[in-house]
Structure 1
């Protein structure tokens, strides 16, 4: 459902807004009505005060019903002319200064009407009414009350008021359009900020998952292995403990970096803090070695030219391989064989990680739709890089992950 909103006109001394603006507008309406009423007091005809009072009363509603007010004021002016031409009786004066109510009513139509044709109709109606009164309409009992020179003066005054009101009307519409445009720009900016925040939260969630899941999986397997060989092979236990310590230190460094992003919004802006650890393709050998230490048989083949990947692309590749090894450790366990192959073909980096599942048949669905946040995170990383991703079980046993990412030179 579309949201409805009233766009406010920018405040100024000419266009006050809010409660103050409504009070000023009401005071102006009352002042205009009093001007017409006071003007009617200078005439001594029997119905001048009545006509002036009725015109002033109509003008109180000029903002809400401008077209209706103009019609009523013109009708009262016609009654004024008819009463003026009654023989041997002084019932109304014509023309009279309180006829300025016609100009006020016309100005209200031009300035406050929301219909495009109403300002022109109001100007034409007043000009025609003035001409009719100047020429006279015998059939209606209206006689001629002005010559050509007076008619031109009336028309000049009418056009001046109309042009002034039209200029104010145009300015108001322009101010409203600018305010509406500013509001839409602000809404778009807020939407962009929300989308950026959502992307950042998703990125942080992926980073947390990669760091915590992989590090804990390696540390748990190494700790279990160290416990089982502690008495029989102290050297192997010592090596496992070293791997646990190194994995924990790297995880702490990554966690510190993520916390700095959450706290400061910029991973490179922490004063006095350690610099951001750049992840390159060389880190794949590190995680592969840790996988071997955990009991996996890992074969790595990297056929990518130096400088062909940007830091972001190298980070994406590393996180995909890291997550794949984590999944092998969690689901296949020690004894599984993993083949990691990275090669570039026609400007596209192809990533293939295949494991044998330690000989265990896999019944999961194909396509990477099963599984937890790991597969979702890998898919999101690849899609953000403009590539394609697929994951699923192999025939027989094991799991395979394949991804392609367009390459770019650093």
Structure 2
């Protein structure tokens, strides 16, 4: 059975903190509440001033707060432009139309904060911070040739720059936290997808292993039992002793099949517990079992010659199981398709770190090219090939020249000292 199904799951990524995981409707509501709060701060601050255009300018700045997440760079540019207009209007030659600097200029800091936190371009946070510092610095010298006169003294400039840097660093910290949370969420998502893929592959491998086991147990056991039952029925009156021997073989084969079926059903029903029970309770299959199935095949009417040139303890239990299942399936195919009277030659030998398996039959004299090919596309041939390929070996099967069929497999071994 496949061991991939019991492989431990990969370590999942740590989940981000709870407040970062707000998604969907709740996330939109929290964002809208923040936008409304910032807009109200700007609007209330603008309402404190009594110049004609303070409230309209503050209203436009407050209105831009509602789109700062989707268009952060555009909002910053618009707010800076409105602030520039504000300072120009403050220096009007007759009567100032706006107050400058004013508390509602905090909209500039809010817009800069939005660029730093929400912009996907890694360069924009630095561009936004530099632009605000540059525009603020221009307040100490004004713009020669324009109506924008200096409105800040150097002492005030240090205060505004300090405030700008504080807001920028706070926003950059939030940006770093957001990017970290997004990376962790993406990592967790990919880990979950990878785990699901591993589970699907493990389940597919487990199903393939169970299918091989079911085929090996059912096909071989039923083939032997059917032939033995037919033989017992044919000699029941003429040779009671032969009939009795055939019935004993049927009973022994049936008991072994039931034991194997119980083991497979336990795995299907109990999952991990069933696999653990299988590992501790299953009947160990060794190369000695080949002689048992060969003897049953002889009783069923085949002429079987077996040669096993493998030292005791030289193969692992998995390698012995693979070799046994291949030989068992080959005998099953001969019983089903060649029938009584066929000659089978089974050879197993260890050579240069590999177990070589050769099973050749004569097809009871039937031409290999005649009739339906019993091995083409069948579950037995597929199962044998899968078993060998899982060990990293090679498998070959095909008709012989004349009559019969041959199967050859090479299984790498871990030779024990």
Q: 1:125 aligns with which of 128, 131, 140?
A: 131
Deviates more, 1:322-331 or 1:116-125: 116-125
Structure 1 381/29 Cα, relative in aligned 2: closer, same or farther at 3 Å? same
Structure 1 246/402 Cα, relative in aligned 2: closer, same or farther at 3 Å? same
Structure 1 369/338 Cα, relative in aligned 2: closer, same or farther at 3 Å? closer
Q: 2:248 aligns with which of 209, 225, 242?
A: 242
Aligned equivalent of 1:20 = 26
1:69 aligns with 2:71: no
1:344 aligns with 2:357: no
Q: 1:316 aligns with which of 311, 314, 322?
A: 322
Deviates more, 1:282-291 or 1:86-95: 86-95
Q: 1:91 aligns with which of 94, 97, 104?
A: 97
Q: Is the 8 A contact 1:81 1:133 kept in 2?
A: no
Structure 2 stretches of 5 or more lacking a match?
1-14
Deviation at 1:242, TM superposition (A): 0.7
Structure 1 364/262 Cα, relative in aligned 2: closer, same or farther at 3 Å? farther
Deviation at 1:364, TM superposition (A): 7.2
Superposed CA RMSD in Å reads: 1.9
Equivalent residues, number: 400
Aligned equivalent of 1:306 = 312
Moved over 6 A (4+): none
Deviation at 1:193, TM superposition (A): 1.1
Instruction: Give distance in 2, aligned partners of 1:148 and 1:50.
Output: 30
Deviation at 1:11, TM superposition (A): 5.0
1:226 aligns with 2:196: no
What do residues 34-64 of structure 1 show as CA deviations (whole Å, max 9, x unaligned)? 0001111111111111111110001111111
Instruction: Give distance in 1, aligned partners of 2:232 and 2:396.
Output: 35
Aligned equivalent of 1:216 = 222
What do residues 264-291 of structure 1 show as CA deviations (whole Å, max 9, x unaligned)? 12445449x9921111111101100000
Instruction: Give distance in 1, aligned partners of 2:21 and 2:335.
Output: 71
1:136-175 equivalences under 5 Å are: 136-175=142-181
Q: Is the 8 A contact 2:333 2:374 kept in 1?
A: no
Instruction: Give distance in 2, aligned partners of 1:156 and 1:164.
Output: 12
Instruction: Give distance in 2, aligned partners of 1:183 and 1:371.
Output: 40
Name which structure has the greater RCO, CA cutoff 8 Å, separation 6+.
2
Aligned equivalent of 1:4 = none
Deviation at 1:133, TM superposition (A): 2.4
Aligned equivalent of 2:212 = 206
Instruction: Give distance in 1, aligned partners of 2:230 and 2:374.
Output: 29
What do residues 151-182 of structure 1 show as CA deviations (whole Å, max 9, x unaligned)? 11111111111111111101110111111111
Q: 2:189 aligns with which of 179, 183, 189?
A: 183
TM-score, structure 2 as length reference: 0.92
TM-score, structure 1 as length reference: 0.94
Q: 2:408 aligns with which of 394, 402, 408?
A: 402
